Every structure is written in C-alpha cells, then in structure tokens.
Amino acid sequence: MNRIEAKGFTLIELMIVVVIIGILAAIAIPKFEDVTNSARYAACRSNLRNIAGALEFYAAENGNYPGAFQGHKWRELTYFSDYVQTEMRCPSTMAAYRFRISGRNYQYFWVRGWNGACKRNHGMYKRSVYVQ
C-alpha cells in the first residue's frame, strides 16, 4: 500500500509563528505611534510658521502688526486672506487655530484643544514676537 504523506504545518509551528508576530507587533506599534505623534507635531509647527510668515508679510506691507485682538479664529481675520488661502487646523484634533495680540508682546497665535495625540507644553504651543 502507498502511504499518504501529509503536507503542511504542525500546530506547534503555527503557534510559534503567531507568537513571533505578536512580539514584533508589540515592538512596532508603539514606535509607529511615536512617529505619528512626531509627524503631527511637525505639521503643527509648520502651520504655525506659515501663520507667522503671514503676520510678517502683513506687517511689512502695512508698516505695523494688526491691532489688538484676542481669541479669534484664523478664518475670522479677513485681513490675512491675502497671505493664507486656507484655514489651517491642528493636525491632531482638527481644531482651528486661535490668536491673541496685545501690547508690545505679540503672543500672536496658539493652538487650543490638543488631545493626547499631541502632548506639548500642556496642550498649548505658542510663539511670541517682541516689538520695539
């Protein structure tokens, strides 16, 4: 009689492969989250630099920075529409940026409402310009 040889993997071999995949996933997933958070933070900083550039263009063309205002959303500041065409949003929460300008210390923008995905400065990233 001919003996039939079974081809395939044993249960032990399959379990070893599953354990190895689990170990690799346990190592890779936290690294992926760190990379994602770093990318969101970099995108947010880039957006804030673009906003800062728009404010500098405004000041160069008008001879001064915009007047004092507080808590406005970017899209409400119509005098910046020539410098930035789209409303920029925080990449982690999609919340709109808000701004504050007062006196000679122009803390001219900040991000509100960051969730746990962008933990920086306890939920706020701001940039200041000191004007003489």
Q: What is the pLDDT of residue 62?
A: 81
From residue 86, give the alpha-carbon distance in Å to each of 37, 96, 98, 115. Answer: 23, 11, 14, 23
For 80, residues 6+ apart whose C-beta sits below 8 A from its C-beta are 54, 55, 58, 74
Q: Which 3 state secondary structure label does DSSP give 26?
A: helix
Reported as a pLDDT band with limits 50, 70 and 90, residue 72 is: low
Render pLDDT for 24-70 as a digit per residue (tens, 0 to 9): 988 888 888 788 878 887 887 787 777 777 777 877 888 877 665 55
Highest mean pLDDT among 3-17, 56-70, 98-112, 115-129: 3-17
Enter the tokens of residue 4. Answer: 């039939």
Mean pLDDT throughout 6-21?
Answer: 90
For 52, residues 6+ apart whose C-beta sits below 8 A from its C-beta are 108, 109, 127, 129
Q: Is 1's pLDDT higher than 80?
A: no
Element (H, E) at 109: strand 105-110
Tell me what the pLDDT averaged over the chain comes to. Answer: 69
Reported as a pLDDT band with limits 50, 70 and 90, residue 131 is: very low
Share of the chain above pLDDT 70, in %: 55
Q: What is the pLDDT of residue 16?
A: 96
